[in-house]
């Protein structure tokens, strides 16, 4: 069974830039896996940020961007705000199934 792996935790300073990655045990992540990125703050429902590798939803702040980087999906936050502190999950499509990564807890400090 395919496992999707993310950094367990990352720390970034306010105003800084950070990149979260999403790797697959099945091999390099490609656009065909249609990477999605989802944000979840404590006590709240998830909120989708990115779909199909790099497409933003209408509500996604401009400082969030998605890409493919070195065989992984990547989410880059530029000009991090304190309110960006959250857990970020990636999601990949593999044929008939959808697989979430374990999530990256982003601390803004």
Interaction site with another protein (CB under 8 A): 1, 34, 36, 38, 40, 45-48, 51-52, 55, 57, 87, 89, 91, 93, 96-103
Going from the C-alpha of 33 to that of each of 22, 78, 84, 109, the distances in angstroms are: 11, 24, 25, 32
Please give the radius of gyration of the chain, using alpha carbons only, rounded to the nearest integer.
13
List the beta bridge partners of residue 72: 69
Minimum distance from residue 109 beta carbon to another protein (Å): 22
CB 101 within 8 A of CB 74: no
In angstroms, give the least distance from the CB of 66 to another protein.
11
Q: How far is the CB of 98 from another protein (least distance, A)?
A: 4
Nearer to another protein, 16 or 21 (CB): 21
| Sign of the CA dihedral with 6 first, then 46, 30, and 33 last | positive
**Is the Cβ of residue 16 or residue 106 nearer to another protein in the bound state?**
106
Q: How many angstroms separate the CA atoms of 29 and 27, rounded?
A: 6
Considering the complex, what minimum distance in angstroms separates the CB of residue 87 from another protein?
A: 8
């Amino acid at each position: 069974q395919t496992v999707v792996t993310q950094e367990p935790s990352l720390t970034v300073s306010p105003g800084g830039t950070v990149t979260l990655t999403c790797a697959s045990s099945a091999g390099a992540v490609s656009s065909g896996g249609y990477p999605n990125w989802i944000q979840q703050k404590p006590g709240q429902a998830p909120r989708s940020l990115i779909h199909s590798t790099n497409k933003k939803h209408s509500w996604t702040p401009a400082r969030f961007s998605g890409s493919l980087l070195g065989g992984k999906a990547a989410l880059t936050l530029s000009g991090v705000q304190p309110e960006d502190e959250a857990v970020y999950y990636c999601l990949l499509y593999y044929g008939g199934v959808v697989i979430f990564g374990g999530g990256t807890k982003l601390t803004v400090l």
